Structure 1
Amino acid sequence: MRHFDLSPLYRSTVGFDRLFSLLDNVGNEANAGYPPYNIELTGENAYRITMAVAGFSEEDLSIESRESILVVKGEKTDEDGEESRVLHRGIAARAFERRFQLADHVEVRGASLKNGLLHIDLVREIPEAMKPRKIAIRNAGEAEKQIEASAA
């Protein structure tokens, strides 16, 4: 992937630092394919991230949400303490860290691990003050009559 130099845009804009840093980081994610994941829309304002983490237990995984970033880490611990002789390794058990950029007002509601799939449920809760509201349109003549009636 090509790298674009965005530094000329930094000189002529104010307040877009976060947007430009996101554009700079596109394609720079290490281990971009591991572990595989899906992002689903489960409701009008509900989402679910499903990650394939076969071989990892709850103790091997950590989920952290800070500011607007969700970080999922996995680090396999050796249960036996002994080194086993694996003749063929096809199941990846390497450590990973996956980051998801969350939109404003998106919160993590919970996580569950079942059959090697980690499910993380997210909900977008928009504050009442930011929700769209309907403004009633009155006839201009009615407003003038109300003002005259109250003045008399």
Structure 2
Amino acid sequence: MRHFDFSPLYRSTVGFDRLFSMLDNANGDVPSYPPYNIERTGENAYRITMAVAGFSEKDLSLEAREGTLLIKGERAPEGEDREVLYRGIASRAFERRFQLADFVEVKGASLENGLLHIDLEREIPDAMKPRKIEIAAAGADARQIEGEVN
């Protein structure tokens, strides 16, 4: 049984905190096929790179729904006229799910040299962004309210 320590990644990522917690708490083995990387490419930008050698665009499907990114790969069966003597390149079907953090959206995907790149961006709504509140200097624009005291 393998255990991966994701604690160093907590310090360097913003959008995938829940994902790493879920992987830490998962019972059993973490699926290892296909292998993937999660990179931080900017302050609010991320990229998932997945090794999908042998799969074409038509063999892959991506779906983002309700905070979950689902990636499926399924190749059509190879012709029976071929006899494979050694199979070192995996071509089995797979399904990989990623829980996306709040406000993380998929911006695009590309397949290049056997690697599937999925670009993500965290877009926090303006209403939730921190804002600076000006403090007025006392005496400069201070107004005094005068009233009768009984």
Shift of 1:34: 0.6
State the TM-score, normalizing by the size of structure 2.
0.75
The alignment's C-alpha RMSD in Å is: 2.6
| Structure 1 residues 43-58: aligned runs within 5 Å | 43-58=42-57
State the TM-score, normalizing by the size of structure 1.
0.74
Shift of 1:138: 2.8
Cross-structure match for 1:7: none
Distance 2:122 2:23 in 1: 26
Unaligned runs of 5+ in 1: 2-18
- Report SS of the residue matched to 1:112: strand
Query: 1:56 and 1:24, CA in 2 relative to 1: closer, same or farther beyond 3 A?
Result: closer
AA paired with 1:77?
A: A
The counterpart of 2:93, out of the listed 81, 95, 103, is: 95
Cross-structure match for 1:148: 145
Runs (4 or more) in structure 1 with deviation over 3 Å come to 22-26, 28-31, 139-143
Taking every aligned residue pair, what percent have the same amino acid on both sides?
65
The count of aligned residue pairs is 129
Tell me, yes or no, if structure 1 residue 120 matches structure 2 residue 96: no
Cross-structure match for 1:74: 73
Tell me, yes or no, if structure 1 residue 85 matches structure 2 residue 83: yes
Unaligned runs of 5+ in 2: 2-17
Query: 1:29 and 1:142, CA in 2 relative to 1: closer, same or farther beyond 3 A?
Result: farther
Cross-structure match for 1:41: 40
Distance 1:30 1:146 in 2: 67
Query: 1:62 and 1:36, CA in 2 relative to 1: closer, same or farther beyond 3 A?
Result: same
Higher helix share: 1
Answer whether contact 2:38 2:47 (CA < 8 A) is retained: yes
Distance 2:39 2:28 in 1: 21
